[in-house]
Every structure is written in structure tokens, then in C-alpha cells.
Amino acid sequence: MSKLWKKDKDSLKPVENFTVGTDRELDMYLAPFDVLGSLAHIRMLQSIGLITQEESENLSAELKLIYSRIQTGDFKIEEGVEDIHSQVELELTRRLGDTGKKIHSGRSRNDQVLVDIKMYLRAEIEQVATEVSKLFHLLVGNSSKYQAHLLPGYTHFQLAMPSSFGLWFGAYAESLVDDLVMLEAAYRVVNKNPLGSAAGYGSSFPLNRKMTTDLLGFDNLTYNVVYAQMGRGKTERIVAGALAGIAATLGKMATDAILFMNPHFGFISFPDELTTGSSIMPHKKNPDVFEVMRARCNQLLALPNAIIQVTANLPSGYHRDYQLLKEMLFPSIQHLKECLQMMHLMLSNITVKENILEEDQYAFLFSVEEVNKLVLQGMPFRDAYKKVGQDIERGNYRPDRTLRHTHEGSLGNLCLPEIEQMMEDVLNRFNFAAVHRAYNALLA
């Protein structure tokens, strides 16, 4: 097996298989970022005199060809090659001889995988934020569309007060705003450059770490080289926590939808092609999409703790334990994006029942409205509460079902423009465009 660390003797085959695991397959997620990191690294190496301008130009040209192959799917990690870093260096050495071997000067596989993962997570966070934004705008649109469609509100899962589909959709829209605040905080941690920390203790080469930071579009660098290595595991846990926040919002809405689809509620429905049937019960329209979504979201809620279980109590420095984080985190990110896309699909095709609260079973939802009317007429609240309670007990309760809610965030004043502005502000703070500009300059 081709390894960057190979000396004279090979490891026993079972040892290789056990320690490498699925890393080669997962490294394909990192492939484009490994090349981009190398493009920045060789420019820096040239600037400090470790490679010549000609060597830098030749390496850059070959790396750009590899990048193009990755983008078109015409690139793979060969059998017997340990990881993406080894594959890229192997191909450069085949093409350029000793020049290809110089690319590893001033860095270790440790900081190489650190920077690859950070760049990968930046890209994935951008994709997640994009999917969240799409779902958010659909929720806001549905909130406005169904503002006047009333819905029972529950506390303790008992009938409580009138709500509306406007409030229901809008609540989840605003929840996504806070979820993106957490994701943006995670992005701030991700967007710091660890390259140049080498194996976690720096290098005697006069590396220009600020240069690679700028070339790769990072906000800043992780200055302390020991802490750069300590960031492995911590970064993944912070990102997982932010993803779990989004998953919690989706999982709760999925559970609402499952309940609201139930015939005993019958508040919402979906086209047959978005539900599934039963093998023996011809009437069934099962909410399988929402059930699988809920299960996926529960898995994502467990992810931060799973990462903690792998990384807790590790001393400073690199440990091979960290490799397992890829197989935990990378597929989970894909699952979250799928859940966001499926929620968008389902809610784009939702049918909302009208005039729900006109049914007699929902009359008690308006008891608080009756209390408040008496208070507005001058009766003390406790007396008004007692009177309405006695009316209910004596069968004299005849509520007026007209609602007059006007304060901010109520069913009569959803404040959707304000919520949209909050989302726009959060999205702007990511500044994904700075990364794209840096990459375009590297690949020019």
C-alpha cells in the first residue's frame, strides 16, 4: 500500500485493513479540497524558497488537472493507496518525478487532513444553509398563505387555545433562524486555517501561514500549533451540535405532521404519491417520509454525543481515534440535507383543512377569549376566570369565535417581514462569497 509514511517494512495486512477501514472511500469527500490546499501550499513554498517558480508552475498545472478530473468524476484512489493525500502525491510524482515529492515539505498528514476537513465542512455548511434557506422561504410563504386558517392549539396535548396554520408554519420558520445562528457560530470555528501546524508542533521551515490562510479564503488562522491539532474532534463536535439543532426543528415538525395527518385530527393531507400504503389494508396512507425523517433527525441529535464518546479524555496531540469521526459525521451531513429537501417537497404539496374550529369539539378553545372580553369590560381577571368556568360547568358557555389578536407574533400579526430580515442577516454573516473568490483565484 502506498503511504506517505512508509519506510522499509509493510504493516501486516490485517493491521492495514483494520486501521484504514472506510477511510479511503470517505476521503473522496475531501478530494477537491486536498488539491486546493496543495495549490495554496506550493505557492507558499515558492514564496519562502523551498521550491522554484518553475516547480511551482508545473505542480500547479498538474494539480489543476487533477482537480478537473475530480469535478468530472474521473478520479479515484487506487487500490493499494492509503488515502487522498497519498494518491495526489503519487500522481504528481509519476508526472513530475522528484518535484512531486517536494509538495509535502512543511506539512504533515495531520495538518493536511485538518485543513481538508475544515474546507469540506465549509462547503457542506454552505449547502446546508442553502437548503435551510429554501425551506425557510417556503414556510414563510405558507405562513402568509394560511394566516387566516385556524388550528387547535394544545398544551399537555390537551385542547388549549386557538392557533393557526400561519402560526404553525411561521414558528418553524423562525426556529430555523435560530438554528442558522448556531450553524453560523460553528462556521466561525470551522473557518480558521490549521495548515502549517504540521504534526501539531510546527515546523522549522519559515512557513508563511498567513499567506495560505488568505489563499484559501479563511477568516483567520488557528495560531497555536498544538491547539490546531486539538481542534480535531472539537470542530466536528461543534458542527454536529449545530446540525443537531436543525434536525431537532425538522424532527418536531415531522411529528406534528404525522399527528395532523391522522384521521382523528385530519388537519392536513398530501397527495397519494407522497404517502405509502399497506400490504393488507387498502385504505392506508402512511406518513413514511415523516417517520423516516424523524428517525434520521433523532440519529443526528445523538451525533454530538457519539463524537464526544470517541474523543473524550484524549490527551493533546494526534490520535488515530479521530479517523472514526469521518464515518460518523460525513454521512450524517448528507442525511440532514436529504431531510431538508424532503421536508420542502412535502410542504410544497400540503393541503390544509379549512374551518376546523367551527366544529363543536373545539368550542372550549375560545374560553380564554371569553375571559379576556370580561376583563376588557372591567371585571378583575380572577372573577372573569371563575365566571367562564362556572358557565362551562352549568352548560351556559356560548363563545364568540371571533378572534382579535394584534400584538407582535400573534395569529393576527405574524411579523413575517421581521423574521425574514433576521434570516437574511444571518445568511449574510456567513460570507460564503469570500471562499468562492479565493478558490477561483487559486484555480485561475
Residue 168's nearest CA partner among 190, 187, 152, 185 is 152
Residue 271 cell numbers, joined:
397527495
The verdict on 295 and 350 lying in the same domain is yes
The verdict on 353 and 366 lying in the same domain is no
Q: Is residue 351 part of a domain?
A: yes
Q: Is residue 155 part of a domain?
A: no
Predicted local distance difference test score (pLDDT) of residue 314: 92
Q: Is residue 212 part of a domain?
A: no
For the stretch 143-196, pLDDT in tens is 999 999 999 999 999 999 999 999 999 999 999 999 999 999 999 999 999 999
Most confident of the following: 60-64, 157-161, 409-413: 60-64
Q: What is the CATH number of the domain that holds 35?
A: 1.10.275.10
For the stretch 253-303, pLDDT in tens is 999 999 999 999 999 999 999 987 666 676 778 889 999 999 999 999 999
Q: Is residue 215 part of a domain?
A: no
The verdict on 353 and 364 lying in the same domain is no
The verdict on 287 and 424 lying in the same domain is yes
The verdict on 379 and 326 lying in the same domain is no
Q: Is residue 386 part of a domain?
A: yes
Predicted local distance difference test score (pLDDT) of residue 404: 86
Query: What percent of the chain stands above pLDDT 70?
Result: 94
Average pLDDT, the chain: 92
Q: Write the secondary structure of the chain as one string of H (helix), E (strand) and C (coil).
A: CECCCCCCCCCCHHHHHHHHCCHHHHHHHCHHHHHHHHHHHHHHHHHCCCCCHHHHHHHHHHHHHHHHHHHHCCCCCCCCECCHHHHHHHHHHHHHCHHHHHHHCCCCHHHHHHHHHHHHHHHHHHHHHHHHHHHHHHHHHHHHHCCCCEEEEEECCEEEEEEEHHHHHHHHHHHHHHHHHHHHHHHHHHCEECCCCCCCCCCCCCCCHHHHHHHCCCCEECCCHHHHHHHHHHHHHHHHHHHHHHHHHHHHHHHHHHHHHCCCCCCEECCHHHCECCCCCCCCCECHHHHHHHHHHHHHHHHHHHHHHHHCCCCCCCCHHHHHHHHHHHHHHHHHHHHHHHHHHHHCCCEECCCHHHCHHHHHHHHHHHHHHHHHCCCCHHHHHHHHHHHHHHCCCCCCCCCCCCCCCECCECCHHHHHHHHHHHHHHHCHHHHHHHHHHHHC
For cell 459525521, name the residue.
329
Q: Is residue 352 part of a domain?
A: yes
Tell me the residue range of the domain where 319 lies. Answer: 109-150+163-205+223-358+414-443
The verdict on 386 and 433 lying in the same domain is no
For the stretch 385-406, pLDDT in tens is 999 999 899 999 888 888 888 8
The verdict on 272 and 408 lying in the same domain is no
The verdict on 261 and 408 lying in the same domain is no
The whole-number average pLDDT for the span 86-95 is: 94
The verdict on 133 and 258 lying in the same domain is yes
pTM: 0.92
Predicted local distance difference test score (pLDDT) of residue 5: 46
Q: Is residue 5 part of a domain?
A: no
The verdict on 227 and 114 lying in the same domain is yes
Residue 241 to residue 133: CA distance in whole angstroms:
19
Predicted local distance difference test score (pLDDT) of residue 95: 94
The verdict on 63 and 178 lying in the same domain is no
Q: Is residue 86 part of a domain?
A: yes
Residue 26 has pLDDT above 90, yes or no: no
Q: What is the CATH number of the domain that holds 318?
A: 1.20.200.10
The verdict on 189 and 330 lying in the same domain is yes
Cβ burial, residue 167 (10 Å; 0-12/13-18/19+): buried
Task: Look at the chain and report how many structural domains it folds into.
Answer: 3
